Structure 1
Amino acid sequence: MATTPLALPPTTQRPSAPPPRRAAEARRAAVQMVDTCSSVRELQQHHSKLVRLGLGTDNDTAGRLLRFLALSPFGDLHYALRLLRSLPRPDPFVFNTLLRSPSLLCDHHPLHLYSQMLLLSVSPNKFTFPPLIKSLCESSFLESGKQVHAHVFKLGFHADTYSQNNLINFYLTCGLEDDARLVFDKMLHRDVVSWTTMVSGCSRLGLVDVARELFDEMPERNSVSWNAMIAGYVQSGRFKEAFALFERMRDEGVALDKFVAASMLAACTGLGALEQGKWIHGYIEKSGIELDPKLATTMIDMYCKCGCLEKAFEVFNGLEEKGLSSWNCMIGGFAMHGRGLEAIELFKKMEKERVVPDDITLLNVLSACAHAGLVHEGKYYFEYMPQVYGIELKVEHFGCLVDLLGRAGLFEEAEKIITEMPMEADAGVLGALLGACKIHGNVELGDKIGRRVIELDSNNSGRYVLLANLYASAGRWDEVAHMRKLMNDRGVNKEPGCSMIEMCGVVSEFIAGGMSHPQAKEIYDKVDEMLQRIKSEGYVADTAGVLHDVDEEEKENPLYYHSEKLAIAFGLLHTKPGETIRISKNLRVCNDCHSASKLISKVFDRVIIVRDRNRFHHFCAGECSCKDYW
């Protein structure tokens, strides 16, 4: 947008009058030419001609000029406001056009323009309040919005559905569900937008059950309504409910559009439901749904996080135009699969394509280096990208570097980074170092760092468990007991391990020692068979991390029935020989399950792909893609 002030054309010139008919045609042609403008300079030329034709103060003509100046990405709001001041008797259309300008909030408070409208005795109409309320909503001007609400009521627009819908959205955006509900309940006529706005807004505020009640009460629904509710479930992590609602949507014959597709791909990502994701991908292709950058990135992310990296790369390479988010997503995909060198190569290709990286790119590259043990490369890009591209380093970048150095056992360097950080180290940064202490058995440093982490993130059960595991590995059972007591005293509950596996479009969920699955007996029998066979290959339960000072035999039993072992057994029961087994887990894979999974992949001749909280593990022929570095 131009920022240099542009002078308005003079209004005092008096051209010689052409014949009336030719003059009318010239004026009509000049006015129509305004609609073809592509720059402010071109519009200024047309404006000058309109002034010479005597149309400089005509509201209809000014409205066309303002439409470009206020709404076009190539417009100039300052020029538009000067044009407004030059009009002797502006009408509501002129002000309404300006109120729709997305640039209005940059330098001008929307209420100033509305106040000017009232001072000039220009009466608002039903097209005035929706854009005005929307502009205030986007900036969360709560008090201003309430004043406008009073005017809506005072001037008799309380029955206007468009104004009321925007007021509902305004209050929900400001986090005032009760106020929004009051407006909604008092509406004389509610349309599908009214209901959908309530559903979407309540979902954003975390009131998903309230949103569902409203959704079920809706007299009619469209695809936007369905997506609002499905997206609400996805954003709150309630993926199974999103799937159930999606199935109901399909049963009712509602067509899948790109917005619902994006929400459901995100749900597939959350559950690791690859088959469902593939079905949605196929539907998108068959239905001709536009694969815009946002949808493409969501699809790439789904394939990456469902363990199908090759398919993600295929989608990525098939994009005619790759946005920054697509590059970032693909680099992040290589990172989480431990393919650090490929992530770096893709970043280099991104540079050759002249795509400018951002802070997320740097975070993904550093993560790729950390998961692959590429210490030199990680340190290089940590300095290179901020210097070359001006990327501002954030606490997450320092956390990634500390993770990289800690995993490599470079504790002095990691501590130096923490000490010299320009901001205070948070629980994420210190937690990365604590995790490295656990990997390398550095109890002394882990004890010092772990206590700081717990105080910074006192409600996170994982912090206590990690430090307790470190103590347990050193046989310091008094400290283990202290950690358990601290958790109990603070009401912190350990997050249960949970593994999910998809079979025939249905996602089954397992917890350690759980018996709720209808095939529990067959699954446990299969686990026992798995353990017997891998013991002959040298498997010995790794009991170092079990938080009990008991005999080794007692420690082994809980390990045998960890959630991922149950999920693998279920996969072996329900897949053909040679088929890949894909599992998603909410916590980090423990050492024992990691060792067992390697041997199971060898004994049963299977590829087993496990996504844990941090990364992917590809088990094949007795080896893991992480090379035991995770």
Structure 2
Amino acid sequence: MRIFRVASVSRRILFPSNHYATLPLKQDVSALSPAINIARALQEHINSPSPKAGKKIQADIIKTGFRPDLNVSIKLLILHLKCGCLSYARQVFDELPKPTLSAYNYMISGYLKHGFVKELLLLVQRMSYSAEKADGYTLSMVLKASSSHGSTMTLPRSLCRLVHARIIKCDVEHDDVLVTALVDAYVKSGKLECARTVFETMKDENVVCATSMISGYMNQGLLDDAEEIFNTTRVKDIVVYNAMVEGFSRSSETAERAVHIT
């Protein structure tokens, strides 16, 4: 078994004795080196299988009174999220003078991963009042949250349409992640016509979206519509075949059709 080791970095290198001195107006490389070294050390821990060891760096930052720059703060945020410490990650986020789009997306992604839908939506709401505007990745996470079965929060039924309207109004760039999330959210909310409309506007074939549409139609008993999507999907994987077989197998009247799927 291969053992991953994070290179140890001397505290003196990370935090030289003059780190607290006021930097001159014209900053040179040596003046910026502490932040660069800290960022590199944090990145090594982020990339390692055991990122929790990197939390000691934040303890040293607090002890020495070092003021982290934006790059160091973002890496601390990522480190805490990777360790599953959302409260510490949020503390780092809240201490940012002006959170960037990437900072918002990292924090929102952390909430989504751990099922904190309420916190996710509140942060998106806060973002809407800031200078940073949601991009396709942000909105895809909102859509995934809206269709999350693990959420204990009652979400508005119109959330999919609100996000869809935002995508159109703000001319958000479409990509596979965003479109797939939108189709899946519409399907899981039972709005198959809306899902089909988005599905039909896709320029490139997407087997994940096709599978979502097929499952949605099968759940509603619309077998012919599901079969139509299946037949027009040129590149099929095992998942899309399973969706068809499972749908036809729910009834003895249609089970025979599962045998003839090609």
Return the TM-score normalized by structure 2.
0.75
The corresponding residue for 1:246 is 124
- Cα distance, 1:316 vs structure 2: 0.5
Say if 2:204 is the partner of 1:321: yes
- One-letter amino acid matched to 2:257: E
Counterpart in the other structure of 1:335:
218
Contact (CA 8 Å) 1:301, 1:312: kept in 2 or not?
Answer: yes
1:181 lines up with 2:55 in the alignment: yes
Which consecutive residues of structure 1, in runs of 5 or more, have no partner in the other structure? 1-139, 385-630
Match of 1:508 in 2: none
Identify which of 123, 126, 142 aligns with 2:4.
142
Which of 270, 282, 291 matches 2:165?
282
Superposed CA offset, 1:522-567 (max 9, x none): xxxxxxxxxxxxxxxxxxxxxxxxxxxxxxxxxxxxxxxxxxxxxx
Q: Deviations over 1:327-358 (max 9, x none)?
A: 2332233234343332232111102xxx2x22
Structure 1 distance, partners of 2:155, 2:215, is 17
Larger relative CO (CA 8 A, sep 6+): 1 or 2? 2
Secondary structure of the residue aligned to 1:196 is helix
Say which of 221, 224, 248 aligns to 1:369. Answer: 248
How is 1:401-420 mapped onto 2 (pairs within 5 angstroms)?
none
Q: CA deviation at 1:318?
A: 0.8
Letter in 1 for 2:189: C
For 2:245 and 2:47, the matched residues in 1 are separated by: 35
| C-alpha spacing 1:161/1:367, structure 2 compared with 1 (3 Å) | farther
* Aligned counterpart in structure 2 of residue 194 of structure 1, from 72, 92, 113: 72
Q: Residue 212 of structure 1 aligns with which residue?
A: 90
**RMSD over aligned Cα atoms:** 3.1
* Aligned partners of 1:365 and 1:378 also within 8 Å: yes
CA distance in 1, matches of 2:249, 2:40: 47
Question: 2:255 corresponds to which letter in structure 1?
Answer: V
Letter in 1 for 2:95: E
Letter of the structure 2 residue corresponding to residue 311 of structure 1: C
1:242 maps to a residue whose letter is L
More strand by share: 1
Sequence identity of aligned pairs in percent? 20
Compared with structure 1, are the counterparts of its residues 219 and 253 closer, same or farther at alpha carbon in structure 2 (3 Å cutoff)?
closer
Give how far 1:246 is off. Answer: 1.4
- Corresponding residue for 1:469? none
Which one has the largest radius of gyration? 1
AA of the residue aligned to 1:312: A
Distance 1:365 1:210 in 2: 45
- Quick check: 2:46–2:78 contact (8 Å CA) kept in 1? no
Distance in 2, Cα, partners of 1:283 & 1:292: 15
Summarize the Cα distance change of 1:161–1:348 in structure 2 as closer, same or farther, 3 Å threshold.
farther
Candidates 223, 229, 254, aligned match of 2:107:
229
Residue identity opposite 1:274 in structure 2: R
Corresponding residue for residue 266 of structure 1: 144
Matched, 1:165 2:39: yes
Change (3 A) 1:320 1:217: same
Amino acid at match of 2:185: M
Quote the offset at 1:175 in angstroms: 4.9
Q: What TM-score comes out, normalization by structure 1 length?
A: 0.34
Where 1:142 maps in the other structure, the secondary structure is coil
SS in 1 for 2:203: coil
Q: Report how many residues are paired.
A: 234
- C-alpha deviation, 1:371, in angstroms: 4.4
Q: Is the alpha carbon distance of 1:279 and 1:370 closer, same or farther for their aligned partners in structure 2, counting shifts above 3 Å?
A: same
**Residue aligning to 1:345:** 228
Matched residue type, 1:142 = F
Asked if the contact 2:39/2:71 (under 8 Å) is kept, the reply is yes
- Matched with 2:26 is none
Aligned mates of 2:249, 2:80 — CA distance in 1: 39
User: Which structure 2 segments of 5+ residues have no match?
Assistant: 17-29, 149-153
Amino acid at match of 1:302: A
Deviations 1:408-428 (A, max 9, x none): xxxxxxxxxxxxxxxxxxxxx
